[in-house]
């Protein structure tokens, strides 16, 4: 499941860019649990139980935050290549931004960070 959500570190970066990452009952959240004597661990929890750290965004959460268009540039996904771009199609193809990653979730995260830093 951890491969299907952003890490705590990635969520904290989004929080520093003014995205609401507070825990909420109806969402998947990162929580801190005491897993033994003087040991704490982070787990994913649906709803808030234990000590909520932050939300855990899925791929769908990330793409919901991405604008479909920036000026005349359209958001394009190449899932097989883990590539996301903002492209403008005219006489030639113009690229506003292109991101690649190991997974499509990682790529979407990188694009969201770029959008937030360049808005």
Render pLDDT for 40-85 as a digit per residue (tens, 0 to 9).
Answer: 677 777 766 557 788 899 999 999 999 999 999 999 999 889 999 9
pLDDT for residue 24 is more than 90: no
Highest mean pLDDT among 8-12, 27-31, 51-55: 8-12
pTM: 0.85
Burial 85-102 (b: 16+ CB within 10 A, else e): bbeeeeeeeeebbebeee
pLDDT at position 35: 64
CB 97 within 8 A of CB 112: no
pLDDT for residue 37 is more than 60: no
pLDDT at position 90: 87
CB 6 within 8 A of CB 56: yes
pLDDT for residue 112 is more than 60: yes
Domain boundaries, the chain: 1-57, 59-119
Instruction: Sort 69 into a burial class: Cβ within 10 Å, 0-12 / 13-18 / 19+.
Output: exposed
pLDDT for residue 94 is more than 60: yes
pLDDT for residue 13 is more than 60: yes
């Amino acid at each position: 499941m951890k491969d299907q959500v952003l890490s705590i570190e990635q969520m904290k970066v989004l929080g520093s860019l003014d995205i609401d990452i507070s825990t909420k009952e109806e969402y998947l959240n990162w929580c801190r649990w005491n897993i033994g004597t003087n040991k704490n661990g982070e787990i994913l929890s649906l709803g808030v139980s234990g000590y909520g750290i932050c939300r855990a965004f899925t791929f769908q959460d990330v793409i919901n935050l991405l604008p479909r268009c920036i000026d005349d540039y359209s958001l394009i996904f190449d899932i097989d290549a883990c590539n996301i771009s903002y492209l403008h199609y005219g006489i030639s193809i113009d690229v506003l931004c292109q991101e690649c990653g190991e997974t499509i979730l990682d790529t979407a995260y990188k694009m969201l960070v770029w959008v937030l830093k360049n808005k």
